[in-house]
Structure 1
Amino acid sequence: MTKPIKPLRAKALAGGLLTLLALASAGSALAAKDVVLAIGGQPETLDPYNTNTTLTTAVTKSFYQGLFEFDKDLKIQPVLAESFTVSKDGLVYTFKLRQGVKFHDGTDFNAEAVKVTLDRVLNAENKLARTNQFNRIEKVEVESPLTVRVTLKEPFAPFINSLAHASAVMMSPAALKKYGSKDIAFNPVGTGPFTFVEWKQTDFVKGKKFDGYWKKGYPKVDTVTWKPVLENSTRAAMLQTGETDFAFPLPYEQAAELKKNAKLDLMTGPSIITRYISFNMLQKPFDNVKVRQAINYAINKEALVKVAFSGYAFPAQGIVPQGVKYAHKMAPWPYDPKKARELLKEAGYANGFESVLWGAYTNTTTQKTLQFVQQQLAQVGIKITVLALEPGQRTDWVQAAPDSKTAKVRMYYAGWSASTGEADWALRPLLATESWPPKLNNTAYYSNSKVDADIANALKSVDEKEKTALYRDAQEQIMKDAPWAPLVTEQNLYATSKRLSGVYVMPDGSIHSEEVAVK
């Protein structure tokens, strides 16, 4: 039967001069119909199928769209699909597509474009980061120009959630043929509101208004420029001086000062972003559960919230953050350094040990977190060296490590948002055995057959009670095994100029900008 698309609940200034010079080449935020958006990191690609970074897919949404999308409440809305049907066995999805949509190169959006796009990510030879998100697809068939049928290998309850993810975009078949599967990363051609102009990897990504955009009245600005600004204080300073119309994330400690600026709107919102430290369980001493538990006890999460996040966060309430469907709320690990020392002694490390903690980002909040954890662990005899990784280092040293036995990662501070809005994408990419790097992001190299079975069975089930029980069981087991030290769930803090509208930060840390407008 036909299912209407209805909502599905998921629940420094020191660098100022350099910034000004770089912006001169990227376009000024002061021009009436030109907008600059300052972000806290550099996109490593413009191929949304080849990244696990929310920030990167936020940028690529300027150029691309998918069949569905999440709104600000993480409810699914139709975009390039108008309706769909599902067979009784849950294996066949038939999509009716929106008529009259063009890609930026003039190519028609149709069923063939859907097939070409999905076939690309399913081709293992392309080695795309998002292949596992779609690997339950058996085949994609064109029924008519505006009807496409997708057959799954097995029932996959969150399939529409996966298609609403910001990575699941439609690409121009002509562009894929012209540039190839690799070089499309530098030449995005989609159906989004902006056409690609230029990408200077450390400086900016720029798009211009797509005159053939299918949504009448949009886009409302001439150009949009995404400006990576790694230093928190510099992003805040750019807002104050009018160099940018939007900045995210912001230094939490400057929230009070920014709020006083009559030209700015300071915004906070709930997030599903959990920050955590993973432990490489294949390596000593992290192969010992008592060591992993000791580290959890040794970190004062309440103090971390104050020191690094200025109160704009709270201790993590389990493995999956609240707001994600099937999240199981659990009490945070208590701060008990005495218990930590006892566990270390029981594990054979009465005098502590030395190790390395890498951070997945270089922003100042990460730097503060790494330093805080370093100080906390020193108090129980654990001496760690900290290093915040550049994007290239993060990819080469952690995400693309070819052999689990020789992977150099030991302790790894990172964050994750389940951008499909469901517990599957909060657990499977990070904690399933199948997700060890370089396949996905299980940087703990955690493996528990019971957890694997719970995740796999929950994916197939369409019974809400059964799914809830399976996901709860998995989360409780993970907490017992302690492959992570869950730290905090943060709030999203961002600001816009008063002239700006149509831009906001979503709970998963993505940025909605397709309806950007200026007064």
Structure 2
Amino acid sequence: MAAMRARRWRIWSATATAAALLLAAGCTGGDGGPAAPASSAPPAVSTEDTLVFAMGEIRILDPALSPDAESLRITRQVLETLVQAEPGAAVAAPGLAETFSVDGTGTVWTFRLRQGVKFHDGTAFDAAAVCANFERWHRFPAALQAGDVSAAWQAVFGGFAKNASSRLGASLFKSCTAADPATAQIALTRPSSRFPAAFTLPSFAISSPKALREQLADKPVAGSRYPAYGNSPVGTGPYRFVSWDKPGRKVELEAFEGYHGTAAKVKHLVFQTVEAARRKQALLDGKIDGYDLVAFEDRKPLAEQGFHVLTRPAFNTLYLGINQSGNPALAKPEVRQAIAYAVDRQRLLAEAFPEGAKLALNFHPELLPGWNPDVAAYPHDPAKAKELLAAAGYGGGLKLRFHYPRDVTRPYLPDPKKIFELLAADLRAAGIEVEGIELRWTPNYLNAVSKGKAHDLHLYGVTGNYGEAYDFMGQLFAKPNAEFGFTDADLFARLKEVDGIGDPGRRRPLYEQLNARLLELLPAVPLAHGPDALVLDKNLIGITPSPLTDEDFAAALFT
């Protein structure tokens, strides 16, 4: 992966920056093995029964402890979750559980499990296995409670049975009960908007209890942050783990003959670390069959050559942040509205984003329940912007400091400088003079934006972790945030209310109301949803691009 995606797990770690968590493609290799040069060429092993996919370095293969998308891409093929996202979407659907439901209190989730499912070690999958996994995560020892080790659990469930640090709060998890072999019940301490969508997270995939016991899954190996189980996971998925050649940074999987679902069509699956700059050439040379995060400028040429460039549904939002605490003018709603009317978002999409990008009307993508098409849309209208500025007392003009980053790209921010220049031109045309301030992404830009003391306007984005609108809204607006410098007690209370509702159907209309309110308050201006893409060889089909990077390689087929 060419660059880390900031904000993917913004809420997951108190000790590590959010940019380094879920989608940190360029992270270091796993503890406990020597590192090979990242530029080492992949072996030319692609055949009709072997699929080679190039990716960034791999951290650890225990999904509960995997902090990066590259590791989780592999574990998704080996282990399965109770609930999974529908192919190509973010909607929660049956996984290892055939059905799932919540009781009237919103605190007890019941899962009816698939029958006849076996782990790769031959042991049976049942409710006891489900509970063994959830209890394991809940009872992680102090060594596994670091924010960048068990980040997923902490983001979703909070604390542990016995917290090793005062920074950890009470756990949302209460208990797991095996009512019978085919029925598992997970009880929460309170209703939460996180479910059922958070159950789709690959970090909550179910491992073989036998393998966890035999590999001492809760005891880090000497000299490592991770237990040995992270080197050879055992699940129920369509592929089973074969080997991890750490010096070569290559993981090999093999189709599991006893799989309970549709068997994998390609027998051998190889994930090979390849330096980002070399992946395109490796594909052209036939050494690999695909790679992720295709550069913006490479997408059209590769497609024209016959390669399958698969654009994922955008699951992020770029916004123009407005800091109300640093400049009294920005505390006036008329000025924030003027900024929104000044921006030509359609031109921004056309000139700065790849095909598949969409204009952002809300702070979360349209594919999530609660998206509201009837919010204030703020079409491009420089005359209206000037009128609002005059009404606010700034008819003679306004000067703002506009921070933007360098040394970074994101699906929602493919070219920060170009995006800044387009927006700055729009603002100047509406009577707002802009002083551009370019800062290195880390630590300068992140520090400046998070502290909210130096900037008036800034570019930033949010990426969802799972298919729930609150995951976007809550990351940004659930409490006072120095980035935006505004306080609205009613908004915070309404967000807290919706977060405490366990019934997804009851949450949807409240999300629609919250979206409308946010576009009235305008703590920021939503700009665009930017897609990323993966590319596959000309004769490789069957993989459906997922907004959650939840691609099923078992569906891949060579033609």
Please report the TM-score for the alignment, with normalisation by the length of structure 2.
Answer: 0.69
Alpha-carbon offset, residue 316 of structure 1? 1.0
Q: Distance in 1 between matches of 2:308 and 2:44?
A: 20
What residue number does 1:248 align with?
292
Q: Compared with structure 1, are the counterparts of its residues 297 and 418 closer, same or farther at alpha carbon in structure 2 (3 Å cutoff)?
A: farther
Q: Compared with structure 1, are the counterparts of its residues 237 and 355 closer, same or farther at alpha carbon in structure 2 (3 Å cutoff)?
A: same
Q: Compared with structure 1, are the counterparts of its residues 28 and 454 closer, same or farther at alpha carbon in structure 2 (3 Å cutoff)?
A: farther
**Which of 403, 407, 420 is 1:356 aligned to?**
403
**Which of 36, 51, 54 is 2:52 aligned to?**
36
Which letter maps to 2:292?
A: F
Contact 2:38–2:273 (Cα < 8 Å) also in 1: no
Q: Distance in 2 between matches of 1:121 and 1:284?
A: 45
Confirm or deny that 1:133 pairs with 2:156: yes
What residue number does 2:553 align with?
513
Contact 2:255–2:266 (Cα < 8 Å) also in 1: no
Which letter maps to 1:425?
A: D
Q: What SS does structure 1 have at the residue aligned with 2:218? A: helix
Contact 2:88–2:313 (Cα < 8 Å) also in 1: no
Identity of aligned residues (%): 21
Matches within 5 A, 1:90-169: 90-99=106-115, 101=117, 109-119=125-135, 121-122=137-138, 126=145, 127=147, 128-130=150-152, 131-135=154-158, 136-144=172-180, 146-156=182-192, 159-169=195-205
Q: Compared with structure 1, are the counterparts of its residues 355 and 491 closer, same or farther at alpha carbon in structure 2 (3 Å cutoff)?
A: closer
Contact 1:63–1:196 (Cα < 8 Å) also in 2: no
Q: Compared with structure 1, are the counterparts of its residues 247 and 409 closer, same or farther at alpha carbon in structure 2 (3 Å cutoff)?
A: farther
Confirm or deny that 1:413 pairs with 2:460: yes
Q: Distance in 2 between matches of 1:408 and 1:145?
A: 57
Contact 1:68–1:77 (Cα < 8 Å) also in 2: yes
Alpha-carbon offset, residue 318 of structure 1? 1.9
What residue number does 1:457 align with?
497
What residue number does 1:76 align with?
92
Q: Distance in 1 between matches of 2:244 and 2:483?
A: 34
Which letter maps to 1:76?
A: A
What residue number does 1:495 align with?
535
Q: What SS does structure 2 have at the residue aligned with 1:366? A: coil
**Root mean square deviation, CA, Å:** 4.5
Q: Distance in 2 between matches of 1:431 and 1:322?
A: 19
What does the per-residue CA deviation read over 1:466-494, in whole Å, with 9 as the maximum and x for residues that have no partner?
53431122112222222333121235544
Q: Distance in 1 between matches of 2:338 and 2:275?
A: 36
Q: Distance in 1 between matches of 2:242 and 2:219?
A: 15
Alpha-carbon offset, residue 150 of structure 1? 1.1
Contact 2:484–2:523 (Cα < 8 Å) also in 1: yes
Q: Compared with structure 1, are the counterparts of its residues 517 and 398 closer, same or farther at alpha carbon in structure 2 (3 Å cutoff)?
A: farther
Contact 2:413–2:530 (Cα < 8 Å) also in 1: no
Which letter maps to 2:470?
A: D
Which letter maps to 1:377?
A: A
Q: What SS does structure 2 have at the residue aligned with 1:30? A: coil
Q: Compared with structure 1, are the counterparts of its residues 118 and 303 closer, same or farther at alpha carbon in structure 2 (3 Å cutoff)?
A: same
Q: Number of paired residues?
A: 482
Q: Distance in 2 between matches of 1:405 and 1:116?
A: 44
Alpha-carbon offset, residue 66 of structure 1? 0.8
Q: Distance in 2 between matches of 1:29 and 1:332?
A: 52
Alpha-carbon offset, residue 327 of structure 1? 0.8
Alpha-carbon offset, residue 325 of structure 1? 1.0
What residue number does 1:3 align with?
none
Confirm or deny that 1:208 pairs with 2:253: yes
Q: Which moved more, 1:242-251 or 1:209-218?
A: 209-218
Q: Compared with structure 1, are the counterparts of its residues 59 and 306 closer, same or farther at alpha carbon in structure 2 (3 Å cutoff)?
A: farther
Please report the TM-score for the alignment, with normalisation by the length of structure 1.
Answer: 0.74
Q: What SS does structure 2 have at the residue aligned with 1:480? A: helix
Q: Compared with structure 1, are the counterparts of its residues 347 and 152 closer, same or farther at alpha carbon in structure 2 (3 Å cutoff)?
A: farther
Q: Distance in 2 between matches of 1:408 and 1:364?
A: 23
Q: Which runs of 5+ in 2 are unaligned?
A: 1-36, 159-171
What residue number does 1:179 align with?
220
Contact 2:316–2:412 (Cα < 8 Å) also in 1: no
